[in-house]
Amino acid sequence: MQWVSFDRRSEQRCGKRLSWVLIAAVLTGVCPAEQAAVKNGSEAMDQWLQQARALKAKEGSGPVVVSIPPGRWVLDRPVLITPADSGTEKRPVIFKVEDPERTSFSSAKFLPEMKPDASGKWVCELPKGFHVDQLFVDGKRAEPARFPRNGFFVMQGVQQKVDKVGTNKRYPEKATQTVALDPQTLKQLAGVNLDQARMVVLHKWDCTLRSKLHFDRGQSSITTSGEGMKSWNPWKKGTRFFFQNVEGERLQAGQWMLQGRTLSYAPREGEMPGKTEVVAPQLEKLLVIQGEKDNPVSHVQFDGFRWMHSRLNLPNGMPPNQAAAKVDAAIMVDHAKQLVFRNGGISQMGRHAIWFRENCQSCRIEHCLIEDLGGGGVRIGEMHTRSQSPTSEVVVDNCIIRRGGRLLPCAVGVWIGQSSHNRVTHNEINDFYYTGVSVGWTWGYGKSHTHHNKILNNHIHHLGHGLLSDMGAVYTLGVSPGTEVSGNVVHDIESYSYGGWGLYTDEGSTGIRMENNLVYRTKCGGFHQHYGKKNVIRNNIFADAKLYQVQATRPEKHLSFEFSRNIIAFDRGTLYRGPFLKIQNKMNHNLIWFPRKATLLAKASKMFGGTSLEAWRKSGRGTKSVIGDPQFRNAEEGDYFPQNEELLKQIGFVRFDFTKAGVYGDPSWIAKAAEGLAR
């Protein structure tokens, strides 16, 4: 093994390029002794990359290890890794942080001196070239000023004028939308200035951001322009929206506003000017790993790196795209193999965290804390199919992925598109406004590179928060033979209207096996299939959904799914929702428990796909299913371990250990995963 450690003497040998820099001139009002010392991370990384290349050129065996000293390393440009930085299978290049708790790589800059005004807000003037799209105060995300403070405005109607058709036949390239407002909204908008405001529109599973707004009080409308609406998810009467950065609205604690070059911030309790760190990300990307099609970056490891503060630039808003699929990540990886990210973190992002995009093979991210994200967490693959070298065999293991979608609420925890043989295992995924894990990206039965993916033993919970619709803790699309969703614990999935599901096989999902999952406290059902083929839903526990327990939507001529050896327990809502008697399915050997048994068995009951139990069994379904109490050990505390041996034996249910779901290892890591939201 060859090891190089950059301590203070190493810095002196490298000259001024690695000298410590105190930024008292930037963070005014704080004495030097109180300031965080920062280092030029871009120049330091250049030095470390050069050192690694020099060590590789020497004869030796074992890994080449570059030791990264503690510090707050500030990047003025993205770190670039190319094939010249590659290691080999026997001599991988490892960049290892000595003290991860005291080391970070960030693009954030400190704001100029902020002074209190008469109202108590802190105010500063930004110099030219200083970007503030997101703001962090003492390590916490500050929220853009929101109007209304709570709730939403509601569209009374929408008219669209096409300005440019463009080449996309599915929707116009440019269009103008005029949104009709109700009298109450007009009253609330009196006295506010929308000239520099951003409009945030929430429509089903999508979110549209618009910055060019014209408020016409006389016509009771707001006019905005951008991409044309998509016919399958347009704005319409009843669509919710709100504004950010509205001049004239009083800031709430922890909120900020930018008017021209003047930035205002309302401090939280305990924050004091001159003793509070206020920073803004400056770079969109922090790390770019760029290989070549026939010469990938290979055998490079990042151990203990904390990447922080990427920027999402929104001057003209953002068109809708499901899962925010077209937005780049802070860490972009293309044409790479055998990369490892471990024992680190990615946080306080304006966009997605990391994307293994084009032609990435056998890469891993493990034991990393990925949180406080403007977009999503980990992305694997692409939106379109590639005939050669699609991304595959990426592992996401033992990571905490949480608090995402803060700027793009349609983003997801882990996204897999046109990619196969990936493993998403033992992760903690929570606190997103949309889906937890998304697998697919071909709608229907067309060509797909998504197959043999494993979503195993994850703890996925507290998603949706009632903001968007049509979501699932695990969401699949397209033909996906060999894909398995097993051993996961899913709970607290809350959509705005329809579609707060646990396991969701959407359009064309085919050949997927879902078993040994515990799913409880969803809004619209533990399982839903829109349409698909030969999926197997077996040996799961579905409990305590609000409206329906199991849903299915579209009848087709083939076998849609097998649903067997499952436990379904509920005390409200409907058992089966949808045209089950028209859908070709195999539903049998299930254990059903509803405390008000007489209601379930009543001839007038519509519990069974719109019909009664008697009619259900006459159709050949459920003839060997059982109605009875599974005797959960402590369902109120989330312990759904079934104890009724006799009934379990009758349906062939095999008990599984759902305590294995989620992260593993050091007790402090497990405790870290349990922080925040209720379990």
CA distance 616 to 607: 10
Q: How confident is the model at residue 676 (pLDDT cuts 50, 70, 90)?
A: confident
Q: Which residues are within 8 A (CB) of 101 and not within 5 positions of it... i.e. 6 or more apart?
A: none
CA distance 593 to 566: 11
Q: What pLDDT is attached to residue 9?
A: 36
Q: How confident is the model at residue 109 (pLDDT cuts 50, 70, 90)?
A: very high
Mean of all residue pLDDT scores within the chain: 92
Per the CB < 8 A criterion, the answer to whether 144 and 198 are in contact is yes
Average pLDDT on 267-282 reads 95
Share of residues in the chain with pLDDT > 90 (%): 86
Q: How confident is the model at residue 678 (pLDDT cuts 50, 70, 90)?
A: low
- Is residue 634 pLDDT above 60, yes or no? yes
Lowest mean pLDDT across 238-252, 290-304, 410-424: 238-252
Please compute, for residue 587, the number of CA atoms within 13 A of its CA located in the half-sphere on the CB side.
26
Model pLDDT for residues 402-455, shown as the tens digit of each residue: 999 999 999 999 999 999 999 999 999 999 999 999 999 999 999 999 999 999
Query: Two tokens at 365?
Result: 């991210």
pTM of the model: 0.94
Q: What pLDDT is attached to residue 34?
A: 30
Name the H helices within 144-228. Answer: 183-189
Q: How confident is the model at residue 672 (pLDDT cuts 50, 70, 90)?
A: very high
Whether the ω angle into residue 144 lies within 30 degrees of 0, i.e. cis, is no
Average pLDDT on 522-528 reads 99
Domain 147-244 coded CATH 2.40.30? yes
Q: What pLDDT is attached to residue 11?
A: 40
Q: What pLDDT is attached to residue 624?
A: 95
Q: Which residues are within 8 A (CB) of 400 and not within 5 positions of it... i.e. 6 or more apart?
A: 368, 369, 370, 371, 427, 428, 663, 672, 673
| Pick among 1.20.120, 2.60.120, 1.25.40, 2.160.20: CATH of 381-673 | 2.160.20
Model pLDDT for residues 532-574, shown as the tens digit of each residue: 999 999 999 999 999 999 999 999 999 999 999 999 999 999 9
Average pLDDT on 198-226 reads 95
Q: What pLDDT is attached to residue 249?
A: 75
Per the CB < 8 A criterion, the answer to whether 291 and 266 are in contact is no
Q: What pLDDT is attached to residue 186?
A: 92
Q: Where are the beta strands (DSSP E) in 55-156?
A: 64-68, 71-74, 79-81, 93-97, 103-106, 108-110, 115-116, 122-125, 135-137, 140-144, 146-147, 153-154
Q: What pLDDT is attached to residue 679?
A: 53
CA distance 260 to 126: 9
Average pLDDT on 18-43 reads 44
Average pLDDT on 135-151 reads 95
User: What does residue 616 show for φ and ψ, rounded to 5 degrees?
Assistant: -60, -45
Write the burial class of residue 468 (CB in 10 Å: 0-12 exposed, 13-18 middle, 19+ buried).
buried
- Partnered with residue 307 across adjacent β-strands are 105, 346
Average pLDDT on 77-98 reads 97
Model pLDDT for residues 147-177, shown as the tens digit of each residue: 999 999 999 999 999 999 999 889 999 999 9
Please compute, for residue 238, the number of CA atoms within 13 A of its CA located in the half-sphere on the CB side.
5
Q: How confident is the model at residue 340 (pLDDT cuts 50, 70, 90)?
A: very high
Amino acid (1-letter code) at residue 152 = F
Q: How confident is the model at residue 29 (pLDDT cuts 50, 70, 90)?
A: very low
Q: What pLDDT is attached to residue 597?
A: 83
3-state secondary structure 420-474: ECCEEECCEEEEECCCCEEEECCCCCCCCCCCCCEEECCEEEEECCCCCCCEEEE
Segments making up each domain of the chain, as ranges: 1-109, 147-244, 381-673
